[in-house]
Amino acid sequence: MANEILTAEKLRALLEYDPTTGNFRYLKSLQGRKPGDLAGNQDQSGYRMHEILGRKYRAHRLAWLYMTGEWPPSNIDHINGNRGDNKWGNLRLASGAINAQNLRNAHKRNQTGLLGVSVKRGHGNKPFGAKIRANGKYVHIGYFRTPEEAHGAYVEAKRRLHQGCTL
């Protein structure tokens, strides 16, 4: 059963997808669920997951299959950066590079809490640096007095240099 290939027809026979909410609902009683019950669970990474025919699938990939009839040929990007938002209008095909460029929040370890900004000791009255990765290389944007100034410069550069930018 886990080796069975999931097709759009099989998916549509088991679940109903609402493109305006991004939710899947059961069409039949399955695994203790009744017709109309919300399907899937959110994983620790923020993705909505579904177990079908003994395999786990991410909801955004299932939405693509449901709507187009084919598995996505590449990555699916959540335009608004919210991995749990699987509305059809929020999904797009994207290369790995473009998908990676669509970051909206700083990493947990970032001291400033702002994307593209870091604390630079030894830079006097401009202790906040901004840099961005573009075309496989880091581009130094500058040093700034406040983290907000550095972040503003980063966002401006991101809009200019990142094809997948949605900020």
- Output the 3-class SS for 115-139: CCEEECCCCCCCCEEEEEEECCEEE
Q: Which residues contact 56 (CB under 8 A, 6 or more apart)?
A: 49, 50
Q: What is the pTM of this model?
A: 0.71
* CB-CB contact of 94 with 110 (8 Å): no
Structure tokens at 48: 């909505």
**pLDDT of the residue at 2:** 54
Q: In DSSP terms, which residues pair with 33 in a beta bridge? A: 30
* CB-CB contact of 117 with 53 (8 Å): no
pLDDT at 100 > cutoff 80: no
Structure tokens at 31: 């695994």
pLDDT tens digits, one per residue of 51-88? 998 899 999 999 999 999 999 998 998 988 889 999 99
Helices assigned H by DSSP within the chain: 8-14, 59-68, 96-101, 147-161
- Give the domains, in start order, of the chain with CATH numbers: 8-94 (3.90.75.20), 103-161 (3.30.730)
Give the mean model confidence (pLDDT) for residues 119-133: 86
> Of 16-20, 104-108, 109-113, which one has max mean pLDDT?
16-20
**pLDDT of the residue at 105:** 74
* CB-CB contact of 126 with 117 (8 Å): no
Q: What are phi and psi of 6, to 5 degrees?
A: -80, 125
